[in-house]
Amino acid sequence: MQVKTLMKTSLVTIDPTATLAQARELMAAEGVRELPVVRDARLVGMLTDRDMRAAAASTLPPLARYEHPPLLDRMAVAEVMTQDIVTAGPDTPVREAACLLSGLGGSSLPVVDDGLFLGLVSTRELLGVLAGVLDHRRPAGFSHILIPIDGSPAGADALAAGVALARQHGSEMTMLHVLVPFGRYAVAELVPAALLTELVAARKAGACRLLRKEMPPLEGLRIGLEAVEDDPVQGIVRVAARIDAQLIVMARRSRARSLVEAVVRAAPCPVLLVDSGKEPPDARA
Amino acid sequence: MYGRILVALDGSPPGERIVPWVRLLARGSGSVVRLLTVCRPVREPIMARGRAVAYVDQLEDRARGHALAYLQGLAARLQEDGIPAAVEVRFGDPVETILTVARDSAVDLIAMGTRGTRGLGRVLSPSVTRAILTRAPLPVLVARLRGQRAA
């Protein structure tokens, strides 16, 4: 995204020969704290609230204080404005504008094209972009797809759909197998501790073998394999959040319907539920 | 990959959350999108002091008008991205209507949110989504996306 899409263009500007009194009135009327100073459509400086306050600071003796405001009011904007300003061009990427602004400590970055004033990009516009980026409602792309694998034929169909999408969108793929934690099984209590670690390791190894067996030919795809011990639903949801997946692809099976529904409810991204050719859709609603 | 996509919407922001994802899927793939809203059928006229003030067909027309305006706004944004988009408003049971339209329009994918508001007689609820998930003979893209992310 470039600055020209983001900047505000219908702005109030002020002439360098205007007085500070006029500037103050304009700022109050428009509800802004800075004004671009423009002469002949060219940007010559920025007048901010801060500049005006700096001009007002003085060491005049108390008696002269009554004369001071009128003096101030009649000062020209040109005497008080900041002239050495950082600007951006209309095609500057927004990311760079954000860096510039954060370095400036100011709130607005003027946009000029060969000296001609075009508009202002302020922190408010950038916050809007940030909110969009942080909010999954405006995805930038399917950069990472998560495919839970359980070794079933229906799961294989989901994998095929996920792979097709990943190729189409150039996404990274993660194949995930979630193991129910062994400790959940009552029999775990009966297993001696030393054997327990071996068992857990063996299960994980088994899961990895399963994943490698299901793995499609790479052909340029980037595929990660993950085996985790967790609750079936939370395992998927947590990994999706950790890898920042934009899509989870699962098989929609009537047997595992509650699992599917639970994942849909908790997932941090949309879920694509793929038909399995091997199981007819459930006719009961 | 999914050439014809049916998006079931109910006019509410939570229901709309699926649209950016549909745009992603459809963009650059030549997919065609159909936006559908199913309004609850109007059963009774509005009565005031014993007289019918608004008749069923008038109420339905008004609901259809609102729904169409809403859908056309969304369709225009999709079309700006080069995605052909059609709109449709129907009255009836949400699940049956969505499935019927999906079948009649020969779509490859149904996309929907799981939560909406019940205002204005439009219904998109978890139970509707669940029924579609169970009964639709085609893939379904569902976005729950708890929008309560502080933003």
Q: What is the pLDDT at residue B34? A: 96
Say if the Cβ atoms of A266 and B144 lie within 8 Å: yes
Q: Is the ipTM of this complex over 0.90?
A: no
Looking at CA atoms only, how far is residue B24 from chain A in angstroms? 6
CA dist B10 and B145 (Å) reads 16
Which residues of chain B have a CB within 8 Å of the CB of A267?
144
b/e map of A28-58 (b: 16 or more CB within 10 Å)? Answer: eeeebebbbbbeeeebbbbbbeebbeeeeee
Q: Which of A247, A264, A275 is nearest residue B139 as measured by Cβ atoms?
A: A275
- Number of residues assigned to chain B: 151
Q: What is the pLDDT at residue A145? A: 94
Say if the Cβ atoms of A257 and B134 lie within 8 Å: yes
**Tens digits of pLDDT across chain A (285 residues):** 778 777 887 788 999 999 888 998 999 998 888 899 999 989 999 998 888 887 776 656 655 666 666 777 788 888 888 888 888 888 888 888 888 888 776 678 999 998 899 899 888 878 877 766 665 455 667 889 999 998 888 888 899 999 999 988 888 999 999 988 877 777 777 778 778 788 888 888 888 888 888 888 888 888 999 998 889 999 999 999 999 899 999 998 766 778 888 898 888 889 999 986 544 444 333
Which chain A residue's Cα is nearest to B134?
A282
DSSP state at residue A31: T
Q: What is the pLDDT at residue B120? A: 45
Is B133's Cβ below 8 Å from some Cβ in A? yes
Q: Which of A134, A267, A281 is nearest residue B151 as measured by Cβ atoms?
A: A134
Token pair of B130 as six digits: 């669940």
pLDDT, one tens digit per residue, over B98-129 is: 999 999 999 999 999 877 554 444 556 778 88
Higher-confidence residue of B15 and A274: namely: A274
Which residues of chain A have a CB within 8 Å of the CB of B134?
254, 257, 281-282, 284-285
Is B95's Cβ below 8 Å from some Cβ in A? yes
Q: What is the pLDDT at residue A239? A: 94
CA dist A265 and A221 (Å) reads 29
Higher-confidence residue of B107 and B82: namely: B107
Higher-confidence residue of B151 and A231: namely: A231
A145: Cβ contacts below 8 Å, ≥ 6 apart: A162, A165, A166, A171, A172, A173, A174, A245, A246, A247, A248, A249
Which whole number is the average pLDDT over B82-87?
92
Of A71, A45, A48, A49, which Cα lies nearest the Cα of A58? A71
DSSP one-letter string for A140-186: ----EEEEE--S-HHHHHHHHHHHHHHHHHT-EEEEEEEEPPGGGSG
**Residue A100 burial (C-beta neighbours within 10 Å; 0-12, 13-18, 19+):** middle
